[in-house]
Amino acid sequence: MRHLMSPLDLSIEELDDLLNLANDIEKNPQKYAHVCDGKKLATCFYEPSTRTRLSFEAAMLNLGGSVLGFSSADSSSASKGESVSDTMRVISCYADIAAIRHPKEGAALVASQKSLIPVINAGDGGHQHPTQTLTDLLTIRSLRGELGNLTIGLCGDLKFGRTVHSLINALIRYENVRFVLISPEELRVPDYIREDVLEKNHIPYEEVERLEYAMPNLDVLYMTRVQKERFFNEDDYIRMKDFYILNKEKMKLAKPDMLVLHPLPRVNEISVDVDDDPRAAYFKQAQYGVYVRMALILTLLRWKGDLTC
Ligand code: NCD
């Protein structure tokens, strides 16, 4: 039995198989409509979520399975003081697979240690968000044809943005990937990403503050929201929140085939006038999130020996 804590828990080959499966699900949804009949997914969300929780639930329903769970810490026994580990051990008796989101870094790992069912990290604090990364990889590969030979600009809150940390970790395994890290000084990527991930693996990257400067060279622009809930001080958040606003004007500086991605929710960082630009791929990306989560649920249940197909 395997869990998914980080995108690196999957080898490149396993990841390729997973993305191929997601593409097949997209093309032939009927083929998969009953593969999880009788199976249950538990969604254990200690932190707010729209897309991640609902796309997990939609994924399991699309596979013929059913879902149970909670959508805030207040509505679970965490409010009575129960540990994540005990909660997950118990949920293992009720469901076949679980997705957990928690504000604390490492909480999903702790939850997986006593679990009798596969556990998927659906976001642990500012640390990792592997299923968003699978979504991002599927989107890039489906729309560009490959994951290598790519200059990707990551823009916004690179300090607290867990989707950014997971995506960098995942993309360094492909050939000829360059990063342009676009952030204000105070929201630069954490040192461990710069030193232990990028420099240690000799990955080319530059850090810049101006989006306009980076735009013309990018194949993908990955915009992110300033992570209000992880700031210690409201004034700092207010000062930073509108640092970047991608609009129609700025899009004129980009390559004609550059993709704009965003894990969503968007606040102000992408103006709505960009939504109609054919390069805006963030709503498609949300759709890919369902296919990839279907592929992941199927794969983890197959590895556990729960499914014969
Ligand atoms: C992201 C997250 O939760 O980290 N959202 C998501 O899962 N699609 C990004 C964010 O909240 O800014």
Give me the CATH number covering residue 163.
Answer: 3.40.50.1370
Domain range for 157 = 130-286
CA–CA gap between residue 19 and residue 26 (Å, rounded): 11
Q: Report whether 162 contacts 193 (CB < 8 A).
A: no
Does the beta carbon of 281 sit less than 6 angstroms from any atom of ligand 1? no
Q: Are residues 273 and 189 in the same domain?
A: yes
Pocket test for ligand 1, best of 45, 47, 52, 128 (most atoms within 8 A of CB): 52
What mean pLDDT do residues 296-301 have? 98
CA–CA gap between residue 47 and residue 44 (Å, rounded): 9
pLDDT level of residue 232 (50, 70, 90 thresholds): confident
In a domain, 212, yes or no: yes
Q: Are residues 109 and 210 in the same domain?
A: no
In a domain, 160, yes or no: yes
154-195 tens-digit pLDDT: 999 999 999 999 999 999 999 999 999 999 999 999 999 999
Q: Are residues 231 and 136 in the same domain?
A: yes
In a domain, 71, yes or no: yes
pLDDT reading at 105 higher than 80 = yes
pLDDT reading at 272 higher than 80 = yes
What mean pLDDT do residues 261-283 have? 97
Q: Are residues 118 and 134 in the same domain?
A: no
Does the beta carbon of 289 sit less than 6 angstroms from any atom of ligand 1? no
pLDDT at 74: 85
pLDDT reading at 78 higher than 90 = no
Assigned token pair, 204: 């080319």
- If you take atom 7 of ligand 1, which residue's CA is the nearest one? 52
Does the beta carbon of 132 sit less than 6 angstroms from any atom of ligand 1? yes
pLDDT at 26: 98
pLDDT at 308: 72
Atom of ligand 1 nearest to the CA of 157: 12
Q: Are residues 166 and 273 in the same domain?
A: yes
235-251 tens-digit pLDDT: 989 999 999 999 999 99
Residue 80 among the catalytic residues: yes
Comparing 309 with 71, the larger pLDDT belongs to 71
In a domain, 309, yes or no: no
pLDDT at 262: 98
pLDDT reading at 297 higher than 90 = yes
pLDDT at 231: 87
- List 3, 39, 43, 52, catalytic entry: 52
pLDDT level of residue 77 (50, 70, 90 thresholds): confident
Residue 101 among the catalytic residues: yes
Pocket test for ligand 1, best of 46, 129, 138 (most atoms within 8 A of CB): 129
Greatest extent of the chain over all pairs of C-alpha atoms, in Å: 55
pLDDT reading at 75 higher than 90 = no
Q: Return the closest-CA partner of residue 259 out of 309, 217, 218.
A: 218
pLDDT at 285: 98
Atom of ligand 1 nearest to the CA of 163: 4
Q: Are residues 273 and 292 in the same domain?
A: no
Residue 129 among the catalytic residues: yes
Q: Are residues 267 and 292 in the same domain?
A: no
CA–CA gap between residue 142 and residue 281 (Å, rounded): 11
**How many domains is the chain built from?**
2
Do you find a cis peptide bond into 265, omega within 30 degrees of 0? yes
Q: Are residues 81 and 166 in the same domain?
A: no
Q: Are residues 70 and 144 in the same domain?
A: no
Q: Are residues 158 and 92 in the same domain?
A: no
Q: Return the closest-CA partner of residue 165 out of 121, 199, 130.
A: 130
11-61 tens-digit pLDDT: 999 999 999 999 999 999 999 999 999 999 999 999 989 889 999 999 999
pLDDT at 79: 79
pLDDT at 307: 87
Q: Report the predicted TM-score, pTM, of the whole model to 2 decimal places.
A: 0.96
- If you take atom 11 of ligand 1, which residue's CA is the nearest one? 265
